Amino acid sequence: MRKPGWTLLMIAVMMLTGLLAPVAAAEKPFAEWLAELRAEALERGIQSATLDAALAGVEPIPRVIELDRSQPEFTLTFAQYRERVVPRSRIEMGRQRLAEHRELLEKIGQQYGVQPRFIVALWGIETDFGRLTGGFPVIASLATLGHDGRRSSYFRGELLNALQILDEGHISPEEMKGSWAGAMGQSQFMPSSFLNFAVDYDGDGRRDIWNSRADVFASAANYLARSGWRADQTWGRPVRLPANFNQSLAGLDNRKPIGQWQALGVRRADGSNLPARQLPASIIIPDEGNPQEAFMVYENFRTTLKWNRSNYFALAVGLLSDAIAD
């Protein structure tokens, strides 16, 4: 027999983990929730005509909930992830795109202090150079997730941000497409990132990360620049660890000047000495317990993590940028 209080304890745990949130959200009909959202948007100064156009006929999208619930739980090794995200085909396409848009990218890179190869790498990883931007209607997707309850506060805020973007005239509701979770355009910005970082680089009065390459590149560069990017540094490099390396020294919390890592026996992947610059650096072992593959990373790696808080992602951006530039 279960001990007294077991049921209450389990309910509390489920509430904390969000497992009961969808049930709670279902208590309020979608139409009522959307009407309250509309009233809040009006209070924020969004025009009624914008809301009429954006919210007319909006209904929850069951597929969005299905995708939110069924995100994969399995873990790829970094080698498997790299094979998927930085294949030879993407490297070759990245080199082509860098050459194709070199003049524009170098101009943007100089203005924002971001090397063009990193702009192209992010573009390639996020949307395969603009080819895969997502086909979900952003407003309906965000409304679905905002009403759902599992992360309702976050997605409600993003929906209000998306409505502001429409109200400012950057894109039409029909063209505002993105991922099932609301990431938009060729740079896959959430609406909050759009409002904070998107740039009208081509000067047409709209910040168009869906169709304008100039706006896409400048917006990505602006994001990195305002997040702390250093144009005089790279992201990091693959390294070889000594056989007796103390793996407790690995991780972003442990920074040492490059020279100290050199003294501990860390070398470039080809066995040669580390760079002479005394930049603060950390050692990353992407697959814990597998020191055969390791990286020494600098501040720009940390900046990339502000775009996506995944070591795998930030390593892939760095490796793709290196391969594009070779």
Q: Look at residue 9 in the predicted model and tell me its pLDDT.
A: 40
Determine if residue 18 is left, alpha or beta; phi over 0 gives left, psi from -120 to 50 gives alpha, anything else beta: left
Q: How many CA atoms lie within 13 A of 286 on its CB side?
A: 23
pLDDT higher than threshold 50 for residue 28? yes
| pLDDT tens profile 29-61 | 999 999 999 999 999 999 999 999 999 999 999
* pLDDT-derived band at 70, boundaries 50, 70, 90: confident
Per-residue model confidence (pLDDT) at position 72: 67
Q: What is the pLDDT of residue 7?
A: 40
Q: What percent of the chain has pLDDT over 90?
A: 87
Q: Is the pLDDT of residue 299 over 80?
A: yes
Task: Evaluate if residue 105 carries a pLDDT over 50.
Answer: yes
Q: For 254-293, how does the pLDDT look when each residue is reduced to its tens digit (9 = 90+)?
A: 999 999 999 999 999 999 999 999 999 999 999 988 899 9
| C-alpha span between 98 and 118 (Å, rounded) | 10
CA distance 274 to 110: 28
The confidence score (pLDDT) of residue 71 equals 74
Q: What one-letter code names the amino acid at 100?
A: E
Task: Quote the Cα angle for 88-92-95, to 5°.
Answer: 140
How confident is the model over 108-167, as pLDDT tens digits? 999 999 999 999 999 999 999 999 999 999 999 999 999 998 889 999 999 999 999 999
CATH number of 14-75+134-184: 1.10.8.350
The span from the CA of 144 to the CA of 159, in Å, is: 10
pLDDT of residue 16: 45
Q: Where are the domains positioned within the chain?
A: 14-75+134-184, 77-132+188-230+311-326, 236-297
Is residue 15 scored above 50 in pLDDT? Answer: no
* pLDDT tier at 18, thresholds 50, 70, 90: very low
Q: pLDDT tens, 315-326? A: 999 999 999 997
Query: Residue 204 gets which letter from DSSP?
Result: S
